[in-house]
């Protein structure tokens, strides 16, 4: 055999046999860096792209390869400083601290930056688009559709729609929600909007005041949410009438007045949205009010994974729990604000006669017949049945 061929074969053999496995550039993009991150990884991270960190997370040295303690490298064993740092960064080392506070053993938390960036970018952007969008849509609707009036005008007779305690419950819920919304928005947008216009001091003072109001008024919201649920749940169970109501656009987009009892389908949607999102925002809020004491996301993700087949992480650090709670709290609160703005529109300027229901508690009988005809019949039948009972229909002003 030709010597040159043997030589080439030998060189090729030695190259493959001696080169470490990571040197196969076709399969391992980090071959050139000996397994460390590459320029592409760094550039991708700078562009805000997702970089799979598994190669670093798993690269934490191997204590089995430890030098004997008597050896030159004995104090570090098989683990170098960089390995230890990676272990701390990915919370994969057994840390003992003298401070026994919650989560004290977590020295570095890897998810902090993505939480901050999500809050400063997506959450703020979607909040601005969502709230701005609904305000524009409602204003346009007002100018296109106009105020919904009582057909044929008010009758002059009134019927009691909500009792004092119902209105008290509603206004506690509404008042607290509005204060929570304003203070929450100050906290979310303070750095982006207040600091550039009014400076750090004004934002600092406002933020301090806002968090204090937010943390305390939250209790009023939670208690009145429970009260509202107990008072009105029996009137909000969905039934066949709701489907008919929805098919007719509730008489809001079309004309005509679909039948309805005390609450129509549109109101039931607002009711259940308030209860379900209100409960969710309250639970995530409690988790934030008592840091590290009420972790909920790992368990919720676990249930979702087994029911829906999703793959959410279930092994969350204490800080990650707080970050998820914080982002979720903002997402749910903003969704609620958008829906409630539509509710406030209909309950005030959007519909003639509606505000009285929560103002004086007495609504015009004609308004009630047009929007809640079956409820009026029920109330009148009850009044007729209870001889000597409370008169539910009265002449206005008498
Ligand atoms: C200035 C703000 C608000 C006004 C003018 C207002 C007005 C009204 C009115 C007039 C009703 C009774 C409608 C009827 O006769 O059936 C009502 C009901 C209701 N409100 Fe409000 N509201 C306001 C804020 C809120 C807020 C912030 C929430 C919740 C966070 C809320 C939750 C509810 C619920 C759950 C009902 C019962 C279901 C329904 O009628 O949609 N309201 N509101």
Mutate to test the pocket of ligand 1, among 168, 169, 173, 174 (most ligand atoms within 8 A of CB): 174
> Does the pLDDT value for residue 256 go beyond 90?
no
Ramachandran sector of residue 396 (left: φ over 0; alpha: ψ -120 to 50; beta: rest): beta
Alpha helices in 51-199 (DSSP H): 54-57, 81-89, 112-118, 124-145, 164-189, 195-198
Residue nearest to atom 15 of ligand 1 (CA): 357
Q: What is the DSSP string of 221-263?
A: HHHHHHHHHHHHGGG----HHHHHHHHTGGGTSSSS----SSS
Beta bridge partners of 160: 362
> Does the pLDDT value for residue 396 go beyond 50?
no
Beta bridge partners of 351: 148
- In angstroms, the Cα distances linking 350 to 108, 240, 266 are 52, 27, 14
Mutate to test the pocket of ligand 1, among 158, 168, 170 (most ligand atoms within 8 A of CB): 170
Task: State which ligand 1 atom lies nearest to the alpha carbon of 175.
Answer: 27
301 and 241 share one domain: yes
> Does the pLDDT value for residue 19 go beyond 50?
no
60 and 141 share one domain: no
Ligand 1: residues whose CB is within 6 Å? 161, 170, 173-174, 177-178, 228, 263, 267, 270-271, 274, 340, 343-344, 347-348, 354-355, 357-358
Helix (H, G, I), strand (E, B) or coil at 361: coil
Q: Report the pLDDT value the prediction gives residue 14, as an integer from 0 to 100.
A: 42
Q: If you measure from the C-alpha of residue 212 to the centroid of ligand 1, how many angstroms do you get, rounded to a whole number? A: 26
Residue nearest to atom 28 of ligand 1 (CA): 174
> Does residue 298 sit within a domain?
yes
User: What's the total number of domains in the chain?
Assistant: 2
Mutate to test the pocket of ligand 1, among 230, 347, 348 (most ligand atoms within 8 A of CB): 347
CA dihedral sign, ordered 238, 244, 247, 250 = negative
Residue 100 has, within 13 A of its CA and on its CB side, a CA count of: 0
136 and 276 share one domain: yes
Contact between 275 and 339 (Cβ < 8 Å): no
14 and 123 share one domain: no
> Does residue 129 sit within a domain?
yes
305 and 390 share one domain: yes
Residues 164, 153: Cα–Cα separation, whole Å: 26
> Does the pLDDT value for residue 16 go beyond 80?
no
Q: Report the pLDDT value the prediction gives residue 99, as an integer from 0 to 100.
A: 83
> Does residue 201 sit within a domain?
no
Q: Report the pLDDT value the prediction gives residue 50, as an integer from 0 to 100.
A: 82
Mean pLDDT of the 339-363 span = 96
> Does residue 182 sit within a domain?
no
CATH of the domain at 292: 1.20.950
116 and 85 share one domain: no
136 and 74 share one domain: no
146 and 277 share one domain: yes
| 151-210 pLDDT tens trace | 899 999 999 999 999 999 999 999 999 999 999 999 999 999 999 999 999 999 999 999
Question: Which is higher by pLDDT, 385 or 251?
Answer: 385
Q: If you measure from the C-alpha of residue 237 to the centroid of ligand 1, how many angstroms do you get, rounded to a whole number? A: 18
Q: If you measure from the C-alpha of residue 234 to the centroid of ligand 1, how many angstroms do you get, rounded to a whole number? A: 17
80 and 119 share one domain: no
State which residues form the domain around 363.
112-162+236-395
| 307-329 pLDDT tens trace | 999 999 998 999 999 999 999 99
Q: Report the pLDDT value the prediction gives residue 368, as an integer from 0 to 100.
A: 96
Among 57, 89, 121, where does a domain finish? 89
Q: Report the pLDDT value the prediction gives residue 103, as an integer from 0 to 100.
A: 84
Residue nearest to atom 34 of ligand 1 (CA): 271
| 80-122 pLDDT tens trace | 677 778 888 887 778 888 887 778 888 888 788 889 999 999 9
Helix (H, G, I), strand (E, B) or coil at 291: coil
> Does residue 332 sit within a domain?
yes
39 and 128 share one domain: no
Mutate to test the pocket of ligand 1, among 343, 354, 368 (most ligand atoms within 8 A of CB): 343
Q: If you measure from the C-alpha of residue 260 to the centroid of ligand 1, how many angstroms do you get, rounded to a whole number? A: 17
> Does residue 94 sit within a domain?
no
E strands within the chain?
Answer: 157-160, 362-364, 393-395
Q: If you measure from the C-alpha of residue 139 to the centroid of ligand 1, how many angstroms do you get, rounded to a whole number? A: 19
Residue nearest to atom 1 of ligand 1 (CA): 344
Token couple for 175? 């008042």
Residues 222, 173: Cα–Cα separation, whole Å: 8
Residues 203, 198: Cα–Cα separation, whole Å: 7
> Does residue 312 sit within a domain?
yes
Among 89, 122, 148, where does a domain finish? 89
Burial of 370 (0-12, 13-18, 19+ CB in 10 A): buried
Contact between 166 and 227 (Cβ < 8 Å): no
> Does the pLDDT value for residue 49 go beyond 80?
yes
Q: Name the average pLDDT for the chain.
A: 87
Q: If you measure from the C-alpha of residue 347 to the centroid of ligand 1, how many angstroms do you get, rounded to a whole number? A: 6
> Does residue 16 sit within a domain?
yes
Question: Which is higher by pLDDT, 230 or 55?
Answer: 230
> Please, which residues have CB within 8 angstroms of residue 354's CB and are 6 or more apart in sequence?
346, 347, 348, 363, 367
12 and 155 share one domain: no
Q: Which of 348, 215, 338 has the alpha carbon at shortest distance from 273?
A: 338
16 and 150 share one domain: no
């Amino acid at each position: 055999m030709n010597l040159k061929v043997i030589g080439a074969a030998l060189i090729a053999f030695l190259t493959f046999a001696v080169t470490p496995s990571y040197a196969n550039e076709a399969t391992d993009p980090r071959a050139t860096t000996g397994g460390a991150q590459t320029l592409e990884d760094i550039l991708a991270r700078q562009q805000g792209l997702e970089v799979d960190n598994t190669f670093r997370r798993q690269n934490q040295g191997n204590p089995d390869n430890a030098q004997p303690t008597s050896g030159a490298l004995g104090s570090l064993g098989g683990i170098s400083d960089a390995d230890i740092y990676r272990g701390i960064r990915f919370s994969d080392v057994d840390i003992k601290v003298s401070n026994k506070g919650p989560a004290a053993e977590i020295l570095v938390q890897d998810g902090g930056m993505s939480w901050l960036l999500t809050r400063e970018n997506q959450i703020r952007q979607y909040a601005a688009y969502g709230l701005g969008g609904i305000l524009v849509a409602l204003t346009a609707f007002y100018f296109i559709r106009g105020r919904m009036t009582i057909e044929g005008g008010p009758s002059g007779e009134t019927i009691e729609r909500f009792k004092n305690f119902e209105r008290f419950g509603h206004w506690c819920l509404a008042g607290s929600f509005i204060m929570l919304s304003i203070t929450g928005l100050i906290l979310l947008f303070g750095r982006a909007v207040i600091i550039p216009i009014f400076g750090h001091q004004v934002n600092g003072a406002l933020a301090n005041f806002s968090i204090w109001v937010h943390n305390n008024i939250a209790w009023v919201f939670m208690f009145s949410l429970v009260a509202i649920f107990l008072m009105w749940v029996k009137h909000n169970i969905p039934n066949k009438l709701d489907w008919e109501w929805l098919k007719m656009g509730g008489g809001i987009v079309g004309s005509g007045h679909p039948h309805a009892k005390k609450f129509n389908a549109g109101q039931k949607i607002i009711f259940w949205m308030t209860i379900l999102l209100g409960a969710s925002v309250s639970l995530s809020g409690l988790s934030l009010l008592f840091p590290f004491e009420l972790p909920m996301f790992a368990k919720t993700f676990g249930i979702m994974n087994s029911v829906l087949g999703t793959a959410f992480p279930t092994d969350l650090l204490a800080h990650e729990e707080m970050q998820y709670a914080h982002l979720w709290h903002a997402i749910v609160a903003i969704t609620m604000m958008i829906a409630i703005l539509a509710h406030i529109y209909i309950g005030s300027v959007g519909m003639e006669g509606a505000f009285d229901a929560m103002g004086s508690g007495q609504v015009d009988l004609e308004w009630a017949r047009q929007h809640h005809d079956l409820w009026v019949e029920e109330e009148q039948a009850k009044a007729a049945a209870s001889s000597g009972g409370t008169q539910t229909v009265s002449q206005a002003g008498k």
